[in-house]
């Protein structure tokens, strides 16, 4: 009897451990994309109330999909740099597509209404999309704000080329030594090897 109860307890414990490894709160945790994977398209609401998909950008050579938000100090510190990335690379066919993955029920400052306000305050030149229901960020595997995914448009789809941080100094743009995203985009556009394909995203955890 004791042996039977022990194995029942062991089985239940193992189930809980496996279940916990695939869930966080009530949201599934996906492994997400790796470099070389093809990213699935999405359709999310933009701050102008239109629905935006990657397929809308017919002439794009790629995309900088950046998971960011209104409230995270790291995201705020990078706002001007994200605007600069869009200004530099949109004309070269690689626009910024910003996505807010946070649950506004947990972080009220990241509501869709507040996204509109923040975008106007900062003069965002790029789509700022709301991941309603938090369905897209788990597909990518984003864990932080900001978290960057460089995609290259190819015949087989939008291929992930870089994942991680924008650069190596969120506190002071003037002291950045490694511009990870710029280096990756420049290499992609010139057909060269991207030397640093992944870095650790530094920022706030996504609020579920």
User: What is the 3 state secondary structure string of the chain?
Assistant: CHHHHHHHHHHHHHHHHHHHHHEECCEECCCCCCCCCEECCCCEEECCCCEECHHHCCCCCEEEEEECCCCCHHHHHHHHHHHHHHHHHHHHCCCEEEEECCCCCCCHHHCHHHHHHHHHHHCCCCCEEECCCCCCHHHHCCCEECEEEEEEEECCEEEEEEEECCCCCCCCHHHCCCCHHHHHHHHHHCCCCCCCCECCCCCEECCC
**Distance of alpha carbon 116 from its chain centroid, rounded?**
19
Domain count, the chain: 2
Do residues 3 and 92 both lie within one domain?
A: no
Do residues 55 and 3 both lie within one domain?
A: no
Instruction: Report whether pLDDT(122) > 90.
Output: yes
Do residues 22 and 52 both lie within one domain?
A: no
Do residues 78 and 145 both lie within one domain?
A: yes
Whole-number pLDDT of residue 124: 97
Instruction: Report whether pLDDT(23) > 80.
Output: no
Do residues 35 and 73 both lie within one domain?
A: yes
Q: What is the pTM of this model?
A: 0.86
Do residues 16 and 69 both lie within one domain?
A: no
Whole-number pLDDT of residue 2: 46
Peptide bond into 112 cis (omega under 30): no
Asked whether the beta carbons of 81 and 167 are under 8 A apart, the reply is yes
Range of the domain at 2: 1-26
Do residues 8 and 66 both lie within one domain?
A: no
Whole-number pLDDT of residue 29: 43
Do residues 9 and 81 both lie within one domain?
A: no
Residues 161-202: pLDDT tens digits? 999 999 999 999 999 999 999 999 999 999 999 999 999 999
Whole-number pLDDT of residue 1: 47
Over range 135-152, report the average pLDDT: 98
- If pLDDT is split at 50, 70 and 90, which confidence band does 45 have? very high
Geometric angle at alpha carbon 140, from 138 and 146, rounded to 5°? 95
- If pLDDT is split at 50, 70 and 90, which confidence band does 11 have? very low
Do residues 105 and 40 both lie within one domain?
A: yes
Do residues 7 and 65 both lie within one domain?
A: no
Over range 138-150, report the average pLDDT: 98
Instruction: Report whether pLDDT(147) > 90.
Output: yes
Whole-number pLDDT of residue 64: 98
Q: Which two tokens stand for residue 124?
A: 């965002």
Average pLDDT score over the chain: 89
Do residues 112 and 201 both lie within one domain?
A: yes
User: 23-27, 77-81, 110-114: lowest mean pLDDT where?
Assistant: 23-27
Over range 35-64, report the average pLDDT: 98
Instruction: Report whether pLDDT(132) > 60.
Output: yes
Asked whether the beta carbons of 114 and 102 are under 8 A apart, the reply is no
Do residues 116 and 20 both lie within one domain?
A: no
User: 24-38, 74-88, 156-170: lowest mean pLDDT where?
Assistant: 24-38
Whole-number pLDDT of residue 31: 82
Distance CA 85, CA 69 (A): 17
């Amino acid at each position: 009897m004791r042996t039977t109860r022990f194995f029942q307890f062991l089985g239940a414990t193992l189930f809980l451990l496996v279940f916990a490894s695939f869930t966080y709160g009530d949201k599934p945790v996906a492994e997400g994309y790796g470099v070389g994977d093809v990213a699935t398209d999405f359709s999310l609401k933009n701050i102008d109330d239109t629905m935006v998909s990657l397929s809308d950008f017919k002439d794009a050579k790629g995309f900088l999909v950046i998971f960011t938000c209104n409230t995270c100090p790291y995201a705020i510190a990078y706002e001007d740099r994200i605007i600069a990335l869009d200004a530099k690379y949109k004309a070269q066919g690689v626009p910024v597509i910003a996505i807010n993955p946070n649950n506004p029920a947990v972080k009220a400052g990241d509501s869709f209404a507040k996204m509109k306000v923040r975008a106007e305050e900062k003069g965002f030149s790029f789509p700022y999309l709301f991941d309603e229901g938090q369905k897209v960020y788990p597909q990518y595997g984003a864990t932080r704000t900001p978290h960057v995914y460089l995609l290259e448009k190819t015949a087989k789809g939008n291929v992930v080329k870089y994942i991680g941080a924008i650069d190596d100094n969120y506190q002071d743009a003037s002291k950045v030594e490694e511009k990870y995203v710029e280096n990756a985009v420049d290499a992609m556009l010139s057909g060269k090897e991207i030397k640093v394909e992944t870095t650790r995203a530094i920022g706030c955890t996504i609020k579920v």
